[in-house]
Structure 1
Amino acid sequence: MNPKQFRLEYLARLVQGEHVGQSDLILEGLASLDAAQAKHIAFVNADKYLDQARASKAGALIVTPTLKNQLDTHNNFIVVDNPYLAFAILTHVFEKKNQHQGIESTAQIHPSAMIADSAYIGHYVVIGEHCVVGDHTIIQSHVKIDHDIEIGQHCFIDSHVTLTGDTKIGDRVRIHANTVIGGEGFGFAPYQGKWHRIAQLGSVKIGNDVRIGSNCSIDRGALDDTILEDGVIIDNLVQIAHNVKIGANTALAAKCGIAGSTTIGKNCVLAGAVGVVGHINIADNVTITGMSMVTKSISEAGSYSSGTPMLESLHWKRAAVRFKQLADVPLTQLLKRLDHIQAQIESLESTFKRK
């Protein structure tokens, strides 16, 4: 199959940039600076990549005006303010897209379901009663869609995804393989030494332009809905418990776990393996660094961390012993010692001043 081919001038126009050099240069794909060849375009995002850019065999480079002036080894450029954003836009131009429409013969669809003519339903998909699948949505093989599920337009549902619990999904949502949305939340009432299951009666509401990675679980609400607002992006292996609300354009990296009934604000970033306890609120514009444990509400924007940073093993063992010793000393004793040391310092300072 012939690769996609585009003129440099056309690509520059797509990213609202200025083309410099051979306007009719034909480019066939994107590549890293190290791997690029004459038919590739690569991007340079900072001064630290200039040496790689000078050595690169790329046919054209995406650069800022300042970076272009430092690259006399190349002749063909797309000049923009933000090369990384331009690169992100062009990935969609060269992406191989599924252009199929229609319903495969092995799919099982309830007669009451409403499937858009422009949608694609893959092999062995099962769609239940009263479901809705919007225009140009792609549902890959072996997806299970339970009763009363609504999926918007231009969505992508990867293989082996399960949608249940009356889930409602907006437009341009991507859900990757083996993810379960709308499953039963972890709700049990303890009584006389036993756990009594609480039936989950809420749903999941997912806004527009949401991306959910592979092997994630997003539980339906117990009573109120679990909500992901527009633009939320979620990495692989993320657990979101019942009644959680995540604000617009918030990002969760891999292995995050969010306990039930927690509200996370807009434009937040939770790095890898962050854990969040239940029934707390996190404000807008909060960043939480990797492997932190959030145990109480955060009311102000900013960056927050917890946990122990990596040390050389021997240093870590010494620090752990000291930390344990510190924990064994009552806080009142520490405060008294600090007060005593402060008094001694002040006494010495007074003596030196008199001399």
Structure 2
Amino acid sequence: MKSNQFRLDHLAKLVQGQVIGDADLLLEGLASLTQANSNQISFVNSDKYLDEAISSQAGALIVTSEMQAQLNQHNNFIVVQNPYLAFAILTHVFESKTVQRGIEATAVIDPSAMIGDNVYIGHYVVVGPHAVIGSNTVIHSQTKIDEYVEIGEDCFIDSHVTITGRSKIAKRVRIHANTVIGGEGFGFAPYQGKWNRIAQLGSVQIGNDVRIGSNCSIDRGALDDTILHDGVIIDNLVQVAHNVQIGENTAIAAKCGIAGSTVIGKNCILAGACGISGHLKIVDNVTLTGMSMVTGSILEAGTYSSGMGLLENSRWKRTVVRLRQLADVPLTKLVKRIDDMQAQLESIESTLKLRK
């Protein structure tokens, strides 16, 4: 059996699913319903994909029991309660992983650094004095681990990453290419027309199972630490400023910017290109839709939006004109107009009732 092939019953065991069909069927990859072939497995996430599933050439399908009953054209299934979760688990089985271990000859490691077992340190990596690298951690080429930085076990650090500011990173953290952790926060004191730099004396703490995409910046704190708690996931091109705290299992999509000293709760979702002002508090279980601009604290869970959805250009221009006109009218005058209109409507309604 090829090393990249897996029996259907083995895959089912990994996701705690039930096999229906040929348990010995060998599968060599995951694919979408439309692209899968007979050597691959796919998944059906909801009823809206049933037509695609019916015509799919996949060798096996991951489905719920209700979906399986509607797919008589197929013979091989893994039946689970949550097909998407099962798919997510199986991606790790077929993922191409770095199996190489050891330290490349071009890496530069300070003698005082502590390196765990089964570590891979790639070409031209620099590890500074008193840094700690946990067991089974993989660090790819041209990454810089500065002095006193601590990285836990089973982490993945991609190429061209810089980790500085005495940052502390827990276990199973993934940091992707070109990201900077612990860089200097944007702190300046204005005086007599000049900006006076504030030395950033804090650090960064990153919890277990955090994922940080490429080209992100997580700044160290001015005094207190910047903290990303367990399970936080961050997309590419995200800026987290100094002293920010992000609660467990919060998800942040690309191009979001979070200003300094803001505290974000657990299980929040920030869709793409959201901007959050500094020194705010956002409670647990808040969702911000794309391009929302948050200028005040959010103290109640729920979904929030700002901005305006896409309009055809001429409609957009007319809308902007009306908004400007509306802005020129004092609020008290608007309220008075509405009160007058309401009084007129009530008068008309009373007249009509009398006529009846």
Q: TM-score range by the shorter chain?
A: over 0.9
* 1:249 alignment partner in structure 2: 249
- What amino acid maps onto 2:165 in structure 1? G
Letter in 2 for 1:61: L
Inter-partner Cα distance in structure 2 for 1:284 and 1:134: 32
Q: Unaligned 5+ residue runs, structure 1?
A: none
* Matched residue, 2:231: 231
Cα deviation, 1:57-77, whole Å, max 9, x if unaligned, reads 000000011111111110100
In structure 2, the residue matched to 1:323 is 323
How many residue pairs get aligned? The number is: 355
Q: Check conservation: 1:3, 1:28, Cα contact below 8 A.
A: no
Runs (4 or more) in structure 1 with deviation over 4 Å come to none
1:101–1:117 CA contact under 8 A, matched in 2: no
Equivalents in 2 of 1:286, 1:125: separation in Å? 39
* 1:190-249 alpha-carbon deviations (Å, 9 max, x no partner): 000000000000000000000000000000000000000000000000000000000000
State the distance in 1 between where 2:47 and 2:3 align. Answer: 32
Cα RMSD of the aligned pairs, angstroms, is 0.9
Letter in 1 for 2:216: C
For 1:303-314, what aligned pairs fall within 5 Å after superposition?
303-314=303-314
Deviation of the 1:52 alpha carbon? 0.6
Q: Which residue of 1 aligns with 2:125?
A: 125
* Correspondences of 1:252-267 after superposition (within 5 Å): 252-267=252-267
CA displacement at 1:3 relative to structure 2: 5.6
Residue of structure 2 in register with 1:173 after alignment: 173
Q: Tell me how far 1:117 sits from its aligned partner.
A: 2.4
CA–CA distance in structure 1, aligned partners of residues 333 and 114 of structure 2: 71
Distance in 1, matches of 2:59 and 2:343, equals 71
Corresponding residue of 1:12: 12
Over residues 236-284 of structure 1, what are the superposed CA-to-partner deviations in whole Å (9 max), with x where a residue is unaligned?
Answer: 0000000000000000000000000000000000000000000000000
Deviation sequence 1:31-80 (CA, Å, 0-9, x none): 00111000000000111111111111000000011111111110100000
Amino acid aligned to 2:40 = H
CA contact (8 A) 1:140 1:159 kept: yes
Partner deviation per Cα, 1:103-137 (whole Å, 9 max, x = no partner): 11000000000001211110100000001000100
Task: Determine the C-alpha separation between the residues in 2 that align with 1:203 and 1:182.
Answer: 6
SS at match of 1:300: coil
Letter of the structure 2 residue corresponding to residue 93 of structure 1 = V
Corresponding residue for residue 183 of structure 2: 183
Aligned to 1:65: 65
Same amino acid, percent of matched pairs: 71
- Whole-angstrom CA distance in 1 between matches of 2:47 and 2:41: 18
Are residues 1:76 and 2:73 paired?
Answer: no
Deviation of the 1:321 alpha carbon: 1.0
The TM-score, its normalising length taken from structure 2, stands at 0.99
The residue type paired with residue 199 of structure 2 is: A
Q: Using the alignment, how far apart are the partners of 1:231 and 1:336 within structure 2?
A: 51
- Other-structure match for 1:93: 93
Amino acid at match of 2:212: I
1:79, 1:173 → 2: CA distance? Answer: 31
* Secondary structure in 1 matching 2:349: helix
Measured after TM superposition, the shift of residue 312 of structure 1 is 1.4
One-letter code aligned to 2:198: I
Match of 1:332 in 2: 332
Asked if the contact 1:185/1:220 (under 8 Å) is kept, the reply is: yes
Q: Paired residue for 2:281?
A: 281
What is the SS of the residue equivalent to 2:41? strand
Residues 126-168 of structure 1 show CA distances to partners (whole Å, capped at 9, x for unaligned) of: 0000010001000000000110000000000000000000000
